[in-house]
Amino acid sequence: MSGKWIPLWLHKLGSPPIFYRFAGKLRPWLLTLALLLGAIGLYGGLVLAPADARQGDGYRIIFIHVPSAWMSLFIYGVMAFAAFLALVWRVKLAEVAAMQSAPIGAAFTLITLVTGSLWGKPMWGTWWTWDARLTSELVLLFIYLGVIGLYHAFEDRRQGARAAAFLALIGVVNVPIVHFSVNWWNTLHQGSTIRLLGPSTIAPGMLWPLLTMMAATKCYYLASLAARMRTDLLDLESGKDWVRKLAVEAAQP
């Protein structure tokens, strides 16, 4: 299949040495923005946002729980898309992006499950229940761990990445299940209060900290992904001239 549809700038960015330098320059800005937005979002959610009419101040864990839940799905979507590019066009950078997204996505999914349990205990009276949303989110964590484990199960990293990418594509079926579970089944988990199409039912004083935290977590993901991909590229391309040149430059006083 032809890759002529790929813009020239994107094609150039797909070169490991160019991406390595670009990611190195972009990462500090992303990390700074993530910290700044995270501080604003947490202050808005934990201090400025009004107490909930039913849950009081106990609901404030949503300012960590909800953005983490969004990111667990968003990162999986990015990972699956990158895996598709890696399998169809054999794009090395997409392969690296998919494999290095998995640990970050697994971390956000774990945070989602832990904060959900902390929220569920006072609200539902139990740390865990086999609710459709909770169960499908747990399955998502297992899929992430499966992708990570399969990737590291092969001595040939490229072969392991292809096998893990295939698993990532199969696991996509679970993403809509997680998202729509509260609509498809009768669950304890509350439905969505933020809608892209139509009015949101959440108070504005609660909405803006959530959206700010969502932006902060995305910036953190991109910064973390850039760092992980740079490290992985150095290992993967260790025999190439551009890596040797970097090593020489780093050794110079």
Q: For residue range 147-190, what is the model confidence (pLDDT) as tens digits? A: 999 999 999 999 999 999 999 999 999 999 988 876 655 565 55
Q: What is the pLDDT of residue 11?
A: 59
In angstroms, the Cα distances linking 42 to 4, 61, 108 are 44, 10, 17
In angstroms, the Cα distances linking 163 to 69, 145, 196, 210 are 26, 14, 35, 36
Q: What is the pLDDT of residue 196?
A: 54
Which tokens sit at 69? 């839940």
Q: What is the pLDDT of residue 132?
A: 83
The one-letter amino acid at 77: G
* % the chain with pLDDT above 90: 62
Domain boundaries 28-189+205-245, corresponding CATH code: 1.20.120
CA 130, distance to chain mean position in Å, is 24
Residue range 240-247: average pLDDT? 88
Q: For residue range 77-119, what is the model confidence (pLDDT) as tens digits? A: 999 999 999 999 888 899 999 999 999 999 999 999 999 999 8
In angstroms, the Cα distances linking 83 to 9, 164, 199, 214 are 21, 8, 35, 24
**Nearest to residue 106, comparing CAs of 134, 146, 133?**
146
Given a contact cutoff of 8 angstroms between Cβ atoms, the answer to whether 167 and 217 are in contact is no
Q: For residue range 36-85, what is the model confidence (pLDDT) as tens digits? A: 999 999 999 999 999 988 888 888 999 999 999 999 999 999 999 999 99
Residue range 223-249: average pLDDT? 92
Which of the two residues, 247 and 35, has the higher pLDDT score?
Answer: 35
How high does pLDDT run on average in the chain?
88
Helix H or strand E segment including 123: helix 92-124
pLDDT band with cut points at 50, 70 and 90 for residue 2: very low
Q: Which pTM was predicted?
A: 0.91
Q: What is the pLDDT of residue 1?
A: 41
Q: How far apart are CA 225 and CA 98, in angstroms?
A: 10
Please give the DSSP secondary-structure letter assigned to residue 46.
Answer: I
Q: How far apart are CA 166 and CA 96, in angstroms?
A: 14
Q: Which residue has the tokens 């579970």?
A: 181
Using a 10 angstrom Cβ sphere, with 0-12 exposed, 13-18 middle and 19 or more buried, the burial of residue 200 is: middle
